[in-house]
Amino acid sequence: MRGCWWGTRVTRIEIKDIKPPRDLIDSMGRQMKAERDKRALILEAEGERQAAILAAEGDRQARILKGEGMKQSMILEAEGRRESAQRDAEARERLAQAEAKATIDVSEAIHKGSVQAINYFVAQKYVEALQAFADSPNQKLLLMPMEVSSVIGSIAGIAEVAKEAFATQKERSVELPASRMKPKASVPPAGELA
């Protein structure tokens, strides 16, 4: 009788209604709430972490770009200073060449016997010295033991040198054909000295 089965055989159970005790329901509710809170905290922490990473990356990029901008600005500024210094040097060189030519022209005029050339040269240096004195930023008191008429006489001398130069230039221009005329004035016109 070992292989004999008898009785009812249960194939399916269907539960219609369960009423667990109140403390079990409260406990399960707290457990579900704790699980939801835990997931919310994890997601919130993950969001804060991502936000901090992105903020740090943005700050890093901003510093890199700012540094590159400052570097480029310094390079351009240095190039500008270099170009400015180069142009200043060229201007000083041209001024020195012009002064050398003026000195040669005055020397030639003196050699030819024109005393007015010396007056021109001295008056020019005298006016430059007075201009430098007037441009200085500190208070000024100028005591001049010489007569002011000598300055006016020097300026008149400059005018005479200019007249002589223009007269010489006119004589030369009459001698030369019109196609080969090259104006050569070593002294500026009297109206341009101011």
pLDDT, tens digit, for every residue of 11-56? 888 888 888 889 988 999 999 999 999 999 999 999 999 999 999 9
Find the mean pLDDT for residues 133-150: 64
**In this model, does residue 139 exceed pLDDT 70?**
no
Q: Report DSSP letters for 131-186, one per residue.
A: HHHHH-SS-------S-HHHHHHHHHHHHHHHHHHHHHHHHHHHHS-GGG-----S
Question: For the segment 85-134, what is each residue's pLDDT rounded down to a tens digit?
Answer: 999 999 999 999 998 888 888 778 777 776 676 777 777 777 787 777 77
**Residues 153-165: tens digit of each pLDDT:** 666 666 676 677 6
The per-residue b/e assignment along 130-154, b for 16 or more CB within 10 angstroms, e otherwise, is eeeeeeeeeeeeeeeeeeeeeeeeb
Q: What is the pLDDT of residue 7?
A: 79
pTM score: 0.38
Separation of alpha carbons 161 and 184, rounded Å:
14
Question: Sorting pLDDT into bands at 50, 70 and 90, what band is 192?
Answer: very low
